Amino acid sequence: MKCIILAAGYATRLYPLTKNKAKALLEVAGKPILNYIIEKVEKVAEIDEVFIVTNERFTSSFEEWANDYGGAKQIMVINDRTTSNDNRLGAIADIEYVIEQQKIDEDIMVLAGDNLFEFELTEFVEFFEEVQADSITTHELDEIEEMKRTGIVEVNSEGVVTSFEEKPEEPKSNLAGPPFYIYQKATLPLISQYLREGNNPDAPGNFIPWLIQHKQVYAFQFEGLRYDIGTIESYHKVQDLFKEEKS
């Protein structure tokens, strides 16, 4: 299994913090967000290679980070050749870019480079192997306003995803679908098909409602907190939370 970490965005909502620094490399309680994610990936025996896809502006920063990291996994930084928010490829197109550039022909785990989470990726992989199908993650939310800012998932009694809607005005459930996915290798050509049909290449969740029309997709519901760092306010909130935990 390969792991693709999405870090090619320009995080304009976090300016000036991300004007000259990639969001995934911002520090939370003394270490980069990316370190927390990679530490979870390190525990997954099935993953033998990690690809961090980024843009022209931040490639050297990620390469520097990778050289210093010294973990057990092989890490490669992929430059998607974009230079600004205006010509960015979008997350789904970035996934396709990595697959094609690296000629990947096996299962992939896709993770956003700006989300911190408590659950273990090893549990997610166990679930994926058990259901033998494409899998997404879900967790319960309590606040309606929070539900309107994320992907919302509906599942049936077997745990199969029946609907997925990005940032709905009227959420149909309280199950959020954060950007952590595992796709079977047989699904990889469908990513290219999705893009060829002219669908939205941006937020990675946009692929899911299309995919469930073509294949069964299962939802792994995790316990514990998940933090999406999208604004300066959310970044400071996470900083405070993690500093409290450390102390």
pLDDT the model gives residue 39: 96
Residues linked to residue 134 through DSSP beta bridges, in sequence order: 217
pLDDT digits (tens, 9 = 90+) for 80-130: 999 998 899 999 999 999 999 999 999 999 999 999 999 999 999 999 999
pLDDT in tens for each of the 247 residues of the chain? 999 999 999 988 889 989 999 999 999 999 999 999 999 999 999 999 999 999 999 999 999 999 998 888 999 999 999 999 889 999 999 999 999 999 999 999 999 999 999 999 999 999 999 999 999 999 999 899 888 888 899 999 999 999 999 889 999 999 999 999 999 999 999 999 999 999 999 989 999 999 999 999 999 999 988 988 888 988 888 988 887 776 5
Inter-residue contact 47 to 2 (CB < 8 Å): yes
Domain limits, the chain: 2-246
Name the CATH topology of 2-246: Spore Coat Polysaccharide Biosynthesis Protein SpsA; Chain A (3.90.550)
